[in-house]
Structure 1
Amino acid sequence: MSTSDPRTPRIPHTPWGRAIALAVGAAAIVAVVLLAFVWPTITSTVKDVPIAVAGPSAQVTAVEASLDKAASGAFDVTRVDSRAAAVDLIKTRDVYGAIILGEKPEVLTASANGVAVSQILDQIAGQLQTQANAQAAAAVQQAIAAGRAPAGTVAPTITVTVTDVVPLASTDARGLGLTAASFPLVLGGLLGGILISILVAGSWRRLAAVTTYAVAGGLGIVGIMQGWFGILQGNFWINALAVGLAMFATASFIVGMNALIGRAGIAVGGVLTMLVGNPLSAATQPLQFMVAPWGAIGQWFVPGASATLVRDLSYFPDADTLFPWLVLLAWSAVGVVGMIAGHFRNQVVVEAAVEESLPASAATEDAADRIPQPA
């Protein structure tokens, strides 16, 4: 005996084809998300690492040949005249390290560039030291054989010094905090944009909410990262401006897209930020390691530009930061224009809907009211 109420409407079953298609589509989305995050790491290789080399011309040529033979295409070598010139290039982030040849060989690193590059340069220092000692020992043996040195002469031990020109802060010696902070910045911009799009009505109110969110977020995040944990370095207010602008750029873009095309705009902003910009941001590895030209393309998105800007402001104040600032400003401008354009578009839609809903007589009267009357 059935106990169901005959007055209760029966919910129709989902067609089999649609159910299977939804399941396959959901699995495909998961695969795309996985690919977006794993692909840049799996395909990364050591290539085109910019380094400087200073020293006697013959030795520089020999080192270039040795590096190319050991790992062809791994390094982009720039010749400089002195150690000071190499240090300047490191501080402006035109190169990630340097090899100084001569009587006192030295390898210059910048751990603030990331652990991966520092480890590579440490390996180079070890290889140079081994080669230099082997060459010195061979030269002594030749001298003994030629009678220019007495038997039993021992070659002097050559030590290659490793100097960290731009070290990380002692509070973040391995750079884990600086690397980990990039994702919360992305997530923060997304969260603010989505919540404001859904919960705040009115274009100007949304713009005010996004601005307030960015200011509060920039001050709060930098207060934690710099004032509390000491991860960030440099000028507090400039760092707060950079972080706040990054959050504003992402949030305003999502709100602007939502104003222009509705709820689909939130998805567009989320996909471009999380699935395109974030994996290509090079926040965890040098952009040169990524398959070309994706590393460079990633710097045109908010996650890449903000990660580079925050690192440069903290550890490379001499570096040229104009490009990331312009990228963040450009995305912010797109978002603001989208909000304003969506405001006027919605006004037109509402006015059209009101006119269509008016009865014919009311519409006629409304039109008559618009006819200019004689003074």
Structure 2
Amino acid sequence: MTEGQGAREARSARGAPQAEEAREAERAEDTPGTPDAPGERPAHGAHGRPPTAAEKWAAFKGSPFLPALVLVFILAVAAGLFAGSYTYTMADPTPRRVPVAVVGGTKAPPARTFVTGMEEALNASLVLTPYDTAAEAREAVNEQEEFAILRTRGDGVELDVAGASGASVAQVLAETTAKVGARTGVPVVVRDVKPLQEGDPRGLALFYISLAAVIIGFVGAIQLSVHARGLNPAERIAFTVAYSLLGAFAVAAVVDWLLGALDLPFTESWLILALTMFTSGMVFTMFNTLMGRWAMLPTWGLMVLLGNPSSGGAVSWPLLPSVLGHIGQWLPPGASVNAQHTAVYFEGHQHLFPFLVLAAWALVSCTVFWVYRHRHPGGRGRAPAHAPAGA
């Protein structure tokens, strides 16, 4: 190595750190947020500045925390409404208007005194309908048009109640009758001409099985939405039919064959439960199509908060607030209880109305779902057809 080459290498070695320091300084000047002097606050770049309120709200809306927070308040309100609706209708049932068949009129003093005393004690009116014979009055009870039969016998009266028409109504009438008879001095004889089955002394079993059909109906639809989202609309309806038929069969079999709580007309009760379950499931499916993830709100409100307390299953409609008593007959839970009640206790006197109500709700739900099926979350896309070989 020559002397000149060695000098150049030495100068290059001494200048390398200086050049590196110069390059670092240039990068520091070009980099946002680098402090220009000790203690000086660095300037923020595009990614370093604090987010604005609008950006924070947009991030919150896109996170899972917003729906979770909304659900916290919704569940709190739903809990209060649930407890309030059942307490309002069931905690202290009070008769408003009680239909009573009258044989022989109420002009006789014992009957007139008894009716006046009953209305004062019940703080309600007895809707008295005259019948010429006891057979006609009994037929009206079987048609569930009347809840009791009143007739005069000598110096006293006889009151025939129908526990199967409404256990709560029959209990209120029987208890009040004894008190009124003792207070007015009118001898009273009370008979239950249509008693409940031994396995259902309070008349609640039919309400429970109808409630099971309603809840399992829409819970099943929810589970299909979660675990079988790939089902296309026709397949979704078909599987709703399938779990409704099988689930209703299980409910009827457990209550009748396994527990022996009720002696059901099995096929009729099974199909009523299946129609109830299918209707409930399709109501949720309809709301899911229209409202997406919030479909549970109207379903729960319609079926559980409003429908079940006003169904007449736990408390007969004469003891319900009049508005609820009328509304309940037009909702699926009330229609299911009415149809099941007649099938079990009033054979040969089944009415078409509850079946029309259930069928109408099912048809409307299926129609809305089918018309707006493109909005329904889930389903499978159709694979495109393969192009011809020569294309």
Bucket of the pairwise TM-score, normalised by the shorter protein:
0.7 to 0.9
Instruction: Select which of 209, 212, 232 maps to 1:184.
Output: 212
Q: Deviations over 1:8-47 (max 9, x none)?
A: xxxx9989xx899886665434323332332223564222
RMSD between aligned alpha carbons? Answer: 3.5
Instruction: Select which of 203, 209, 225 maps to 1:197.
Output: 225
Alpha-carbon distance between aligned partners in 1 of 2:198 and 2:71, rounded to the nearest angstrom: 51
Does the alignment pair 1:85 with 2:113?
no
Alpha-carbon distance between aligned partners in 1 of 2:73 and 2:248, rounded to the nearest angstrom: 40
Does the alignment pair 1:121 with 2:173?
yes
User: Does 97-106 or 196-205 show the bigger shift?
Assistant: 97-106
Cα distance change of structure 1 residues 232 and 66 upon mapping to structure 2, 3 Å threshold: same
Does the alignment pair 1:239 with 2:290?
no
Alpha-carbon distance between aligned partners in 2 of 1:171 and 1:57, rounded to the nearest angstrom: 37
Number of the residue aligned with 2:283: 253
Which structure is larger by alpha-carbon Rg, 1 or 2? 2
Aligned residues of 1:55 and 1:102 also touching (Cα < 8 A): no
Alpha-carbon distance between aligned partners in 1 of 2:107 and 2:290, rounded to the nearest angstrom: 63
Shift in Å, 1:208: 0.8
- Which secondary structure does the structure 1 equivalent of 2:199 belong to? helix
Instruction: Select which of 219, 229, 240 maps to 2:249.
Output: 219
- Which secondary structure does the structure 1 equivalent of 2:322 belong to? coil
Alpha-carbon distance between aligned partners in 2 of 1:79 and 1:257, rounded to the nearest angstrom: 47
Alpha-carbon distance between aligned partners in 2 of 1:101 and 1:279, rounded to the nearest angstrom: 36
- Which secondary structure does the structure 2 equivalent of 1:108 belong to? strand
AA aligned to 1:282 is G
AA aligned to 1:33 is F
Shift in Å, 1:93: 0.7
Structure 2 length-normalised TM = 0.71
Shift in Å, 1:345: 5.0
Aligned residue runs from structure 1 range 62-211, under 5 A: 62-103=113-154, 105-127=157-179, 129-130=181-182, 134=185, 160-200=188-228, 201-211=231-241
Cα distance change of structure 1 residues 275 and 64 upon mapping to structure 2, 3 Å threshold: same
Aligned residues of 1:92 and 1:318 also touching (Cα < 8 A): no
Alpha-carbon distance between aligned partners in 1 of 2:157 and 2:264, rounded to the nearest angstrom: 32
- Which secondary structure does the structure 2 equivalent of 1:182 belong to? helix
Aligned residues of 1:97 and 1:109 also touching (Cα < 8 A): yes
- Which secondary structure does the structure 1 equivalent of 2:107 belong to? helix
Number of the residue aligned with 1:7: none
Shift in Å, 1:248: 0.5
Aligned residue runs from structure 1 range 305-316, under 5 A: 305-316=335-346
Cα distance change of structure 1 residues 83 and 105 upon mapping to structure 2, 3 Å threshold: farther
Q: Deviations over 1:130-157 (max 9, x none)?
A: 478x46xxxxxxxxxxxxxxxxxxxxxx
Cα distance change of structure 1 residues 232 and 324 upon mapping to structure 2, 3 Å threshold: farther
Alpha-carbon distance between aligned partners in 1 of 2:222 and 2:305, rounded to the nearest angstrom: 16
Unaligned runs of 5+ in 1: 1-11, 136-157, 355-368, 370-375
Alpha-carbon distance between aligned partners in 1 of 2:72 and 2:195, rounded to the nearest angstrom: 50
Number of the residue aligned with 1:50: 99
Unaligned runs of 5+ in 2: 1-55, 384-390
Aligned residues of 2:292 and 2:376 also touching (Cα < 8 A): no
Structure 1 length-normalised TM = 0.73
Cα distance change of structure 1 residues 71 and 118 upon mapping to structure 2, 3 Å threshold: closer
Alpha-carbon distance between aligned partners in 2 of 1:171 and 1:276, rounded to the nearest angstrom: 28
Aligned residues of 1:56 and 1:102 also touching (Cα < 8 A): no
- Which secondary structure does the structure 2 equivalent of 1:113 belong to? coil
- Which secondary structure does the structure 2 equivalent of 1:293 belong to? helix
Alpha-carbon distance between aligned partners in 2 of 1:21 and 1:217, rounded to the nearest angstrom: 33
Alpha-carbon distance between aligned partners in 2 of 1:235 and 1:98, rounded to the nearest angstrom: 27
Aligned residue runs from structure 1 range 321-336, under 5 A: 321-336=351-366
Aligned-pair identity in percent equals: 25
- Which secondary structure does the structure 2 equivalent of 1:242 belong to? helix
Does the alignment pair 1:34 with 2:89?
no
Cα distance change of structure 1 residues 350 and 234 upon mapping to structure 2, 3 Å threshold: closer
Q: Deviations over 1:37-89 (max 9, x none)?
A: 32223564222121112225522444433333433424222222222222111
Cα distance change of structure 1 residues 82 and 105 upon mapping to structure 2, 3 Å threshold: farther
Q: Deviations over 1:103-155 (max 9, x none)?
A: 384221211133322222323542465478x46xxxxxxxxxxxxxxxxxxxx
Q: Deviations over 1:228-287 (max 9, x none)?
A: 334444531111111100000000111232234322334332332122212222221111
Alpha-carbon distance between aligned partners in 1 of 2:81 and 2:316, rounded to the nearest angstrom: 23
Alpha-carbon distance between aligned partners in 2 of 1:207 and 1:110, rounded to the nearest angstrom: 40
| Count of paired positions | 319
Cα distance change of structure 1 residues 274 and 204 upon mapping to structure 2, 3 Å threshold: same
Shift in Å, 1:318: 4.5
